[in-house]
Amino acid sequence: MGLRLLATAGVISCWTLGAQTPAANDSPFAGSNGCRPCHPAQALQFFRNPHFKTTVAKGATPENMGCEACHGAGKKHIAAGGGRATIPNAFSLMQPNQVLDACLRCHSKDVNRANIRRSSHTQANVVCTSCHSIHRSDSAKSLLAAKQADVCYGCHSDVRAQFSQPFKHRVNEGFMTCSDCHNPHGANSGVSKTGHRPRMVETGLQNEQPCMKCHTDKRGPFLFEHAAVRVDGCESCHSPHGSTNARLLKRPVVFTVCLECHNGSGSFGRQADGIPTQSASHNMADPRYRNCTTCHVRVHGSNADRRFLR
């Protein structure tokens, strides 16, 4: 209630300000103090906002300070007594590319956003204000509109369903976030699958798939590489979000993961003459031979055995 009274008083105050004769200074900028009377809710909490540092930056010019750094010169808006049509950047009215232009005026130099103009999000008109809430975020760091996973689930319902499976990366539990593997601002062409799919997957630190950021024991280099892992990536066998299958595999039964490739056919494989079938000593009629990884334990690569037996 107190806030409402203050806001009401603020509106009256704003109106009063609007009725005043404009200052002799012909700069279109009014300074952030001019915004406070009408927008107390935003003003009172702005000191928590990462953008607040623009108001105390030494040597900053008016177009790069405070409210007007994002919303544009406000003197005309104050003189008119408010209204979205009189503020240069009313984000609720702006087109997506205009929102991008406004934010990238300052944030374009971050290497994390180097691909934002060509990203899948931008192509779908998902821009900064689709995920970030500058004045109503609970997170002081990245100003997301909600918890990161919830922001992403809002559009990616299939991904939400995948993380509801029994085997999954621990995103819902808070151990991981979507941005551990993805760059929502757009990523460079990838390092596997001829660099095309999947999109928006960030490259890891040593020019690898992001899986290797945590699963460093699978990185190698190994004396005997499992070529499929290096050529087409971890998604050759795994579903990284979530799966009903153990170890996030694409199939419930291990031997089908292996034998679907190891069938000797065509010009596949590193020698381009087919991926070798299993040894004739195997007997798939015996259930012992249907758990390939019982013996072939080092399927991600081995230093000791070309058949990954050690």
> 308 exposed, middle or buried (CB, 10 Å; 0-12, 13-18, 19+)?
buried
Read off the tokens for 220.
């190698």
Closest separation in Å from C-beta 71 to another protein:
18
Q: Is the peptide bond before 198 cis (omega within 30 degrees of 0)?
A: yes
| Shorter beta-carbon distance to another protein: residue 27 or 164 | 164
Based on the shown chain and the rule CB under 8 A, indicate whether residue 4 belongs to the binding site for another protein: no
Q: Name the helix (H) or strand (E) containing 242.
A: strand 242-243
Closer Cβ to another protein, 16 or 110, answer by number: 110
Does 29 contact another protein by CB under 8 A?
no
Tokens representing 175?
A: 């151990």
- CB nearer another protein, residue 28 or residue 269: 269
Residues in 76-105 at the binding interface with another protein, rule: CB under 8 A:
95, 97-98, 101
- Closest contact distance (angstroms) between CB of 201 and another protein is 14
Stretch that binds another protein, among 7-15, 23-31, 68-76, 280-288 (CB under 8 A): 280-288
Q: How far is the CB of 98 from another protein (least distance, A)?
A: 7
Site for another protein in 215-234 (CB under 8 A): 216-217, 219-225, 227-228, 230-232
Q: Using CB under 8 A, which of 16, 27, 33, 271 touches another protein? A: 271
115 binds another protein (CB under 8 A): yes
Site size toward another protein, by CB under 8 A: 126
- Does the protein bind another protein through residue 275 (CB under 8 A)? yes
Out of 84, 146, 209, 300, the only residue in the binding site for another protein (CB under 8 A) is: 146
Smallest separation (angstroms) from another protein to the CB of 178: 14
Q: Distance of CA 209 to CAs 200, 204, 292, Å?
A: 12, 5, 25
CA–CA–CA angle 7, 9, 14 (5° rounding): 90
Which of 240, 235, 279, 242 minimizes the C-alpha distance to 257? 235
Indicate whether 41 belongs to the interface with another protein (CB under 8 A).
no
Contact flags string 156-195 toward another protein, x per CB under 8 A: -xx-xx-xxxxx--x-xxxxx-----------xx-x-xxx
Least distance (Å) between residue 149 CB and another protein: 9
The answer to whether the bond into 221 is cis (omega within 30° of 0) is: yes
Angle at 41 between CA 36 and CA 44, to 5 degrees: 65
Among positions 22, 53, 63, 142, the unique one binding another protein when judged by CB under 8 A = 53
| b/e sequence 28-65, b meaning 16+ C-beta within 10 Å | ebbbbebbbbbbbeebeebeebebeebbeeeeeebeeb
Are 184 and 124 contacting, i.e. CB atoms less than 8 angstroms apart? no
Shortest reach from residue 113's CB to another protein, in Å: 9
